[in-house]
Homo-oligomer: A and B are copies of this chain.
């Protein structure tokens, strides 16, 4: 049964100034005027979270995480109060609600808390009275009643979690872009806004660095099958719907091309090919909290092999320190770092049912003389590690190859043909 409830989440840019807050209020009031019960979730005003973090870091090198949570949660409370005021000033009844007041209970992991449950009793009462609820995003409380926050981008997760708790029909995420694009329009001006993206595709895109939605928010939405609409606060474009795959519809072969910079690579050369070597390489890294992405190990030659792996560039220095030690221990011939790499990926639910996509990807890159250093795949994603200088070219080539631009969307049947040609 539809509850006629809409959840609308507005990001930091959308509430970045009094002028913009008034615009948000107009949109919310218009939705209410359509007969909907509206729950608004807001982020901190653009720049506010950074301002507060800077204050913290001026005072302490490693500020306590519990205090960081109290500090940062203020940003969203301020936005919530201001949006409620803006609604009042256009005669739209509204009440602001904090993390505690909405009953958003989390675990005890300050600065990256996970939601345990949302009581939502007070929120339901306000909606029932036909008033708009304006929720401070990003925050909850733990069982002791201390303020916790859900990590960067946590307001998106708050919004989806509230939508689920209230059995809302949809969770609308308002931001400063029109929706999810086939690729970064700054690299490919013809990039096309997608009408729909499946949860699985969006999960891959978010994990590859698509900033439009945090991966935790998409995971949450996927778990409860809560459709998300990503839209712009500043126009009336219908945006992109993120929802379950419709098995009756043909899925696009490739939905998007993603490019992740800030990657680096470490190679251990001439490693004795013995059982337990991989553990000796990767356990010390994970102990240091370094997250490794793609790993390849060459075929053994004369009892020796090479191991390469990628990791965020920000962790390269500490990872190299660890590797210089491990390298000696396992008698590697050499440890080499490369901080000029990028990861270019294609994502598409249609890959499941269509073969040959990988071949087309490798072929089109090789035609441009782009060397592929490493490959990693999932059911609906293929990623290639390549030299950073080729990153933009690779994105453009793949965007073209899979006809993702405006006015040239590719049909699966047609592409199946192309595949055979390309193979």
Chain A contacts to B: CB under 8 angstroms? 18, 21-22, 52, 55-56, 58-61, 63-64, 66-68, 70-71, 73-75, 77-78, 80-82, 84-86, 88-89, 95-96, 98, 100-101, 145-147
Q: A61-B89, A78-B52, A89-B60 are in contact. Are A98 and B70 (CB under 8 A)?
A: yes
Known A-B contacts: A56-B82, A60-B85, A67-B88. Give 11 more (CB < 8 A).
Answer: A18-B55, A18-B59, A64-B88, A66-B95, A67-B82, A67-B96, A70-B77, A70-B96, A71-B77, A71-B81, A73-B77
- Which residues from B are CB-within-8-Å of A100? 100, 145
Beta-carbon contact of A85 and B59 below 8 Å: yes
- Which residues from B are CB-within-8-Å of A73? 77
Q: Give the nearest-CB partner of A68 in chain B.
A: B81
Beta-carbon contact of B18 and A101 below 8 Å: no
Q: Give the nearest-CB partner of A52 in chain B.
A: B78
In the docked arrangement, what's the CA distance between A82 and B59, Å? 7
Shortest CB–CB separation between residue A10 and chain B, in angstroms? 14
- Which residues from B are CB-within-8-Å of A68? 81
- Which residues from B are CB-within-8-Å of A84? 64, 67
Beta-carbon contact of A86 and B60 below 8 Å: yes
Q: For the complex formed by this chain, how many copies does it contain in all? A: 2
Beta-carbon contact of B52 and A89 below 8 Å: no
In the docked arrangement, what's the CA distance between A122 and B18, Å? 38
Q: Give the nearest-CB partner of A86 in chain B.
A: B59
6 contacts between A and B (CB under 8 A): A18-B59, A22-B59, A59-B86, A67-B84, A70-B80, A100-B100
Beta-carbon contact of B70 and A81 below 8 Å: yes
- Pick the contact of A88: B60, B71, B81, B96 (CB < 8 A): B60
- Which residues from B are CB-within-8-Å of A85? 56, 59-60, 63-64, 67, 71
In the docked arrangement, what's the CA distance between A73 and B147, Å? 14
Q: A101-B145, A145-B100 are in contact. Are A81 and B67 (CB under 8 A)?
A: yes
- Which residues from B are CB-within-8-Å of A22? 59
